[in-house]
Amino acid sequence: MVVECIDAVPGFLAAQAVADAVLYEGYLLYPYRRSSAKNRVRWQFGVLLPESWARENGLADVGTGVAGSAESWWQRTECLVRASEDAVVHCRVRFLHLRCRAVEERLSDGTHRVADRVEAGAGTALSFDEAVPREVDIQVSVGELLAGERRFDVRVPGGEEVETLTDARGRPVGRVRREGWPLRGSLILSMVACDAPLFRLCARVENTGDELAPGSSRDEALRRSLIASHVLLAVPGGCFVSLLEPPDWAEAAARGCSNVRTFPVLVGGEEASELVLSSPILLYDHPRVAPESPGDLHDSAEIDEILSLRTLTLTDAEKREARATDQRAAAILDRVEAMTPETLSRLHGVARPGRAGVAWWSPEADAAVAPESNSVLVGGTLVRRGSRVRLRPRLRGSDPQDMFLDGKAARVEAVMLDVDGAYHLAVTLEDDPGAELHQWYGRFRYFSPDEAEPLNGGGE
């Protein structure tokens, strides 16, 4: 299979969406304002600092686990792939390039001086560091890598941009100066045979910049760092092997893979095996962005619904500051404020189709999970949606609040099946005046079948 670019590999768009979430994870956190304490300490994942600065500060070889929250000047990916020697390895190195954004006010004589903020037209401009995405593509054959490691330069030039700020009448009132510093790094690719046609592919990314003066601060070092560094790998016509759940024949080879400050997972769809994302944020195989998500909120550990609702509660002054903080923050506000009730309701959550009676990841599963029609035996009685039960919470290991519900009559709203194959009853209390509201929102109380007794009354 001849593929000229990694973008043409099947499943790449889905993989890129996940990689983008990694790239901007924590870039700017709710409430998206510069004044927020959580936005004063930034750039927490996949930071590759200049080698000289990392060694000076004792970070050269610390934190050799897979978590990318530990900072150093290099990271290493090792993964397994089955391929022929004439197959081509595509590697895309991606990271953020820090840019200092300084606001300057215009003086009466036409000169400028640095300011904290400038009022321009209907908006405000604030000084705040931002970052732009960078990527470098490499292609090399399996045969070439088996002959010896290959080193490739990663270079990003510095530069400066100036944007004029004007008032409502179009008169200049100041400017925004954006400055980025040059970055220098290396990508080292190598490959060794494990058990033909199985190979171990290694991709090591380094920051080789050495322009910092001794004693420089972390803020100064970040200007010359590869931030949120991660790697996308593709071998068209080949097949990557999961390191999380390797087949029996590849277990020994999987244990021999050594990943440092990053970890590779299969991406591009459930059936895809030609793509790998090596991320400084630990993921599972075949991660994906939920189709209900309308856009990035820069906090993938949070819930879109909660963040969107809380963003809507910001005051006008807070929204004005957030829009002045960063263009991506402004885009989040615009998107959230434009959400229709239907879009917002989709963010509440959805039960993904699964398989009943077998593990959710099993391709041999033959019956879709349907919470509204599932049933389960409770005390010898088949219970389904609409059934009435009496709650009998366990005395130990339960939520203490559940103890107050002992003996309460409840209506079963759904019979849920979790990833371990265990059933759960989603219920509303019969004497709860807010039951209809909970039904509308889909917010239930959950109990296992052995925490309920069937009552008379049919189901739907």
Instruction: Please tell me whether residues 94 and 189 are part of one structural domain.
Output: yes
Instruction: Please tell me whether residues 282 and 415 are part of one structural domain.
Output: no
**178 within some domain:** yes
**358 within some domain:** no
Smallest Cα–Cα separation from 261: which of 183, 204, 201, 210?
204
Choose one of 322, 344, 366: the last residue of a domain: 344
**352 within some domain:** no
Instruction: Please tell me whether residues 91 and 218 are part of one structural domain.
Output: yes
Instruction: Please tell me whether residues 322 and 385 are part of one structural domain.
Output: no
Residue range 279-311, pLDDT digits in tens: 999 999 999 888 888 888 888 777 888 889 999
Instruction: Please tell me whether residues 312 and 417 are part of one structural domain.
Output: no
Q: What mean pLDDT, rounded, does the chain reach?
A: 87
The two three-digit tokens of residue 336, written as one number: 């959230």
Residue range 312-337, pLDDT digits in tens: 999 999 999 999 999 999 999 999 99
Dist CA 434 CA 104 (whole Å): 55
- pLDDT for position 272: 75
Asked if the model's pLDDT at residue 355 lies above 70, the reply is no
Asked if the model's pLDDT at residue 62 lies above 70, the reply is no
> The CATH number of the domain where 441 resides is what?
2.30.30
DSSP secondary structure string, 387-414?
Answer: -EEEE---SSSS-GGGGGGTT-EEEEEE
- pLDDT for position 264: 96
Instruction: Please tell me whether residues 431 and 307 are part of one structural domain.
Output: no
pTM of the model: 0.76
The two three-digit tokens of residue 407, written as one number: 């003996």
Instruction: Please tell me whether residues 135 and 20 are part of one structural domain.
Output: yes
Question: Average pLDDT, stretch 341-352?
Answer: 76
Omega into 197 within 30° of 0, i.e. cis? yes
Pick the residue with more confidence: 159 or 3?
A: 159
Instruction: Please tell me whether residues 391 and 322 are part of one structural domain.
Output: no
- pLDDT for position 361: 41
Instruction: Please tell me whether residues 276 and 424 are part of one structural domain.
Output: no
The residues near 128 (Cβ < 8 Å, ≥ 6 apart) are 34, 101, 325, 326
- Secondary structure string (H, E, C) spanning 247-307: CHHHHHHHHCCCCECCEEEECCCCCCCCEEEEECCCCCCCCCCCCCCCCCCCCCCCCHHHH
**369 within some domain:** no
Instruction: Please tell me whether residues 449 and 305 are part of one structural domain.
Output: no
- pLDDT for position 436: 86
Asked if 391 contacts 447 with a C-beta cutoff of 8 angstroms, the reply is: yes
Query: Strand 388-391 and strand 239-241: pairing?
Result: unpaired
Dist CA 246 CA 194 (whole Å): 14
Pick the residue with more confidence: 232 or 63?
A: 232
* pLDDT category of residue 349 using cuts at 50, 70 and 90: low
> For residue 182, what are the CA distances in angstroms to 97, 224, 351, 460?
9, 7, 47, 66
Question: Average pLDDT, stretch 133-150?
Answer: 96
The residues pairing with 211 across neighbouring beta strands, listed in sequence order, are: none
**288 within some domain:** yes
Residue range 381-397, pLDDT digits in tens: 899 999 999 999 876 65
Choose one of 300, 324, 344: the last residue of a domain: 344
**293 within some domain:** yes
Residue range 246-276, pLDDT digits in tens: 999 999 999 999 999 999 999 987 777 899 9
Instruction: Please tell me whether residues 149 and 40 are part of one structural domain.
Output: yes
Dist CA 237 CA 260 (whole Å): 27
Domain that holds residue 176: 6-344
* pLDDT category of residue 93 using cuts at 50, 70 and 90: very high
Asked if the model's pLDDT at residue 459 lies above 80, the reply is no
- pLDDT for position 238: 92
**420 within some domain:** yes
Residue range 396-452, pLDDT digits in tens: 655 667 778 889 999 999 998 876 678 899 999 999 888 888 887 778 899 989 899
* pLDDT category of residue 175 using cuts at 50, 70 and 90: very high
Q: How many domains does the chain have?
A: 2
Instruction: Please tell me whether residues 416 and 288 are part of one structural domain.
Output: no
* pLDDT category of residue 95 using cuts at 50, 70 and 90: very high
The residues near 2 (Cβ < 8 Å, ≥ 6 apart) are 88, 236
- pLDDT for position 63: 65
Asked if the model's pLDDT at residue 359 lies above 70, the reply is no
**397 within some domain:** yes
